[in-house]
A and B are shown apart, each in its own frame.
Chain A
C-alpha cells in the first residue's frame, strides 16, 4: 500500500507516482506527509541533476509530476504546509530581456529546495528589484538574462541596489545564455551560476545552510 513515493518521484515515474498519491489519500493519510515525501523526491531529483545524471528535460518533467501531485493533495490540506523557509530570494530576468525558460527552472529549483522566491518575471525594471528587496528584506537576488544586451541591465541593476544602500545586505547571482565569471565581474554581482542547481548551491552557501 504505502509504496515509495519518494523514489517513484525521483525516478520520474509519473503514472505510478500519481497512483500512489491517490491511494494514500483515499486511505486517509495525512496530506502533509505526502507533500513531505514529494519534497524529498524532488531533493533527489536536484541531487541527480547536480551529479549530471539528470538534465533539463528531467527537471522540467519532475516539475510537471510535482504539479500533478500538488493538485491532488491540495484540496485535502486543512492547513497550509508550515515548512520553514530557508531564506528569501528576489528573482527576475533583467530589463530589456524577456527570456523566461532558464529563470523559471532556477526559481522552481530554489522553491523546492525551501527558499521563499519572489519571482518578478521578465523585462524587470531596475527599480522593481530595489523595491522588492526593500519590501521583502530578501538577502539573495538572482538576475537572469539570455541576451548579451542583458550585461548592461545587470550592471545597472547591481548599481541601483548599491545606490539604494542595499548592496551589503544582499548577495547577487547572475545566470543565463552568455553569462560567465568575466561578466559577473563586469556587472558587480557576487557570483555566476552555470545552471539551476549551481544557483541553489550558491543560495544555500550564502545563507549558511547545508
Chain B
C-alpha cells in the first residue's frame, strides 16, 4: 500500500510532488514532441534542484513582469482592462522564446476588479500611473505602530477585516465587524451579526460580490493557461508565491520606515508578529504546492537585501523567520524558489544554513562566483542576468555574460540561468540570444 502523506519523510514528499509535476494528471499533450519537451524540462529543473546528478543541460527561465504585453505591442493597461488579451499575449511570449518554464499569466490583475474595491495599496496603469507603465506599490502604515498586540493576539482577524478595510476603500466598513469567536451558545448569537445589517457593511458586501464576479470573469479568461502550456510542452516553474514574514510586515503592514522604526522601538513585538505570521505563510505555500501538484513555491525577498539591514539586524530580524518558513515548506516536500532581489552579497554566509538539495536561490545583483562558492553542494543557484544587459547592452555582451555565468556557476549542475529582476520592456534579441546560448553552451557532456 502507498504511504499516506503524513507518514512520508520530507524527501519522500518532495519526490511525490516532483512525480506529480513531471507526470501531470489530466494533461493531454498536443504531440509526442510536446510530451518529450515537458518531461525533459521538469526533469532538468528537478535535477538542478536536487544536486544528485547533473541535468542534461543548464535550465533557463525567464521571469517577466509585463514583458509579454510589451512584446506584443500592448501596454500594461491593455491587458489589465481586457483579460481576453492576456492568454494569447503570454502564450506568444513563452512560445517564441522557449525557456524551460512559464511563470503563469497572472501579472495583470483585472483593472475593473481593482476599481470596484478601490484598491489603495497600488497605483496601476490608467489609475494613478500612465497606461504605458507597470503598477507600483504605495507604502503606508496600514498597521499602526501601536497595533502589534491587536495583530499578534488575532492575526487572522486583523488580516481578514482590519487590513482589507484600510487597503480597499470599498471594504472600509468591514473594520466594524466583530470576530465570530464570541458565538458559543444560542444566547445572544444575533448580537454578533447586527453590524451585517447596517447599510455601510451591506454596501461593502455588495462590492465584494461584484468584485467576485469580476475575478470570476478574469479567471474564466486566463484559467486554462497553465494546462494549455503544459499540453504544449512547457511547465509552470512555480505553483504560487508565499513571502518572508519580515517582508509581509515591511512591505504591506508597517511599511519600510515603520518596520525599521520597530527594529529600534519595539523589537520584541516585531519578532512576535513575525512568529504569528510564520505558520500562515508556510500553509499558503504548502497548500498551493499540493493543490497544483508542483513542488516549486516562489519566495521573493525584499527587505533583507544588502544595505537594508546590518548583518546583526538580518540575523536577528530577517533570517530566523524566513528560515522557519523555508523549513516548514521543505518539511512538506515543497522546493522554495527563493528570489533574493537586490544584492545579497553580505548574506551569503548565513543563507547556506539549509539541508542539501531542497531550495533554489535565485539572485539579482549578487556576485555569482561568491554565491556559488557559498552554496556549493547545498542549493541550486541561479539568476543574475543583469537588467542593463537586457535593456541597453549589446546582444554580444548578453551572450558573453550568459557564457560566463555558465562557466562560473554551471560546472557541476545546480545552476539555473534566469534574469535577475522582473523585466518589462527589453531588447528582445538579447533575450532570445540568452535562451539560445544556454541551449547550446549549457549542455552537460
Which residues of chain B come closer than 8 Å to A123, judged between CB atoms? 129
The answer to whether the Cβ of A55 comes within 8 Å of any Cβ in the partner chain is yes
* Contact status of A57 and B388, CB under 8 A, knowing A123-B129, A149-B133: no
The answer to whether the Cβ of A64 comes within 8 Å of any Cβ in the partner chain is yes
The answer to whether the Cβ of B373 comes within 8 Å of any Cβ in the partner chain is no
Q: Is the CB of A55 within 8 A of B313?
A: yes
A149 in complex: contacting residue of B138, B265, B425, CB < 8 Å:
B425
Q: Is the CB of B260 within 8 A of A149?
A: no
Which residues of chain B come closer than 8 Å to A149, judged between CB atoms? 133-134, 424-425
Interface residues of B in 364-390 (CB under 8 A from A): 386-390
Q: Is the CB of B256 within 8 A of A101?
A: yes
The answer to whether the Cβ of B391 comes within 8 Å of any Cβ in the partner chain is yes
A180 in complex: contacting residue of B134, B256, B265, B388, CB < 8 Å:
B388
Shortest distance between the CB of A207 and any CB in chain B (Å): 26
Q: Is the CB of A14 within 8 A of B264?
A: yes
A96 in complex: contacting residue of B129, B256, B313, CB < 8 Å:
B129
Shortest distance between the CB of A30 and any CB in chain B (Å): 30
Number of CB contacts from chain A to chain B under 8 A: 84
Which residues of chain B come closer than 8 Å to A54, judged between CB atoms? 310
Which residues of chain B come closer than 8 Å to A14, judged between CB atoms? 264-265
Q: Which residue of A lies closest to B123 (CB)?
A: A98
Shortest distance between the CB of B305 and any CB in chain A (Å): 10
A98 to B425, CA, bound (A): 18
* Contact status of A56 and B425, CB under 8 A, knowing A123-B129, A151-B391: no
Q: Which residue of A lies closest to B128 (CB)?
A: A98
Q: Is the CB of A96 within 8 A of B310?
A: no
Q: Is the CB of A58 within 8 A of B310?
A: yes
A60 to B259, CA, bound (A): 11
B392 in complex: contacting residue of A57, A98, A151, A177, CB < 8 Å:
A151
The answer to whether the Cβ of A61 comes within 8 Å of any Cβ in the partner chain is yes
Shortest distance between the CB of A58 and any CB in chain B (Å): 7
Which residues of chain A come closer than 8 Å to B136, judged between CB atoms? 97-99, 147
Interface mask (A78-100 → B, CB under 8 Å = 1, otherwise 0): 00000000000000000011110
Q: Interface size of B by Cβ–Cβ distance < 8 Å?
A: 36
The answer to whether the Cβ of B5 comes within 8 Å of any Cβ in the partner chain is no
Q: Which residue of B lies closest to A61 (CB)?
A: B264
The answer to whether the Cβ of B92 comes within 8 Å of any Cβ in the partner chain is no
Which residues of chain B come closer than 8 Å to A97, judged between CB atoms? 133, 136
A56 to B256, CA, bound (A): 10
A60 to B303, CA, bound (A): 14
Which residues of chain A come closer than 8 Å to B260, judged between CB atoms? 56-57, 60-61
The answer to whether the Cβ of B132 comes within 8 Å of any Cβ in the partner chain is yes
Q: Is the CB of B307 within 8 A of A55?
A: yes
Which residues of chain A come closer than 8 Å to B421, judged between CB atoms? 148, 177-178
Which residues of chain A come closer than 8 Å to B139, judged between CB atoms? 101
The answer to whether the Cβ of A12 comes within 8 Å of any Cβ in the partner chain is yes
Which residues of chain A come closer than 8 Å to B309, judged between CB atoms? 55-57
* Contact status of A178 and B134, CB under 8 A, knowing A57-B263, A57-B313: no
A12 to B313, CA, bound (A): 15
Which residues of chain B come closer than 8 Å to A186, judged between CB atoms? 388, 391-392
Q: Is the CB of A148 within 8 A of B257?
A: no
A165 to B132, CA, bound (A): 29
The answer to whether the Cβ of A182 comes within 8 Å of any Cβ in the partner chain is yes
Which residues of chain A come closer than 8 Å to B313, judged between CB atoms? 55, 57
The answer to whether the Cβ of B308 comes within 8 Å of any Cβ in the partner chain is yes
The answer to whether the Cβ of A195 comes within 8 Å of any Cβ in the partner chain is yes
A64 in complex: contacting residue of B123, B261, B342, CB < 8 Å:
B261
Shortest distance between the CB of B78 and any CB in chain A (Å): 16
Q: Which residue of A lies closest to B422 (CB)?
A: A148
Q: Is the CB of A55 within 8 A of B392?
A: no
Shortest distance between the CB of A98 and any CB in chain B (Å): 5
Q: Which residue of A lies closest to B70 (CB)?
A: A149
A56 to B303, CA, bound (A): 10
A60 in complex: contacting residue of B132, B261, B342, B390, CB < 8 Å:
B261
Which residues of chain A come closer than 8 Å to B119, judged between CB atoms? none
Q: Which residue of A lies closest to B392 (CB)?
A: A186
Shortest distance between the CB of A41 and any CB in chain B (Å): 16
Q: Is the CB of A182 within 8 A of B392?
A: yes
Most B C-beta atoms less than 10 A away, residue of A178, A180, A183: A178
Which residues of chain B come closer than 8 Å to A96, judged between CB atoms? 129-130, 132-133
Q: Is the CB of B388 within 8 A of A101?
A: no
A203 to B31, CA, bound (A): 62
Most B C-beta atoms less than 10 A away, residue of A55, A60, A61: A55
Residues in B lying within 8 Å of A, measured CB to CB: 123, 128-130, 132-134, 136, 138-139, 256-257, 260-261, 263-265, 307-310, 313, 342, 386-393, 421, 423-426
> Can you list 17 residue pairs at the A/B interface with Cβ under 8 Å?
A55-B313, A56-B307, A57-B260, A57-B308, A60-B260, A61-B260, A96-B133, A98-B138, A101-B256, A147-B136, A148-B387, A148-B421, A148-B423, A148-B426, A149-B425, A182-B393, A195-B307
Residues in A lying within 8 Å of B, measured CB to CB: 12, 14, 54-58, 60-61, 64, 96-99, 101, 123, 147-149, 151, 177-178, 180, 182-183, 186, 195
Q: Which 5 A-B pairs have the closest CB atoms?
A: A57-B260, A182-B388, A178-B387, A186-B392, A96-B133
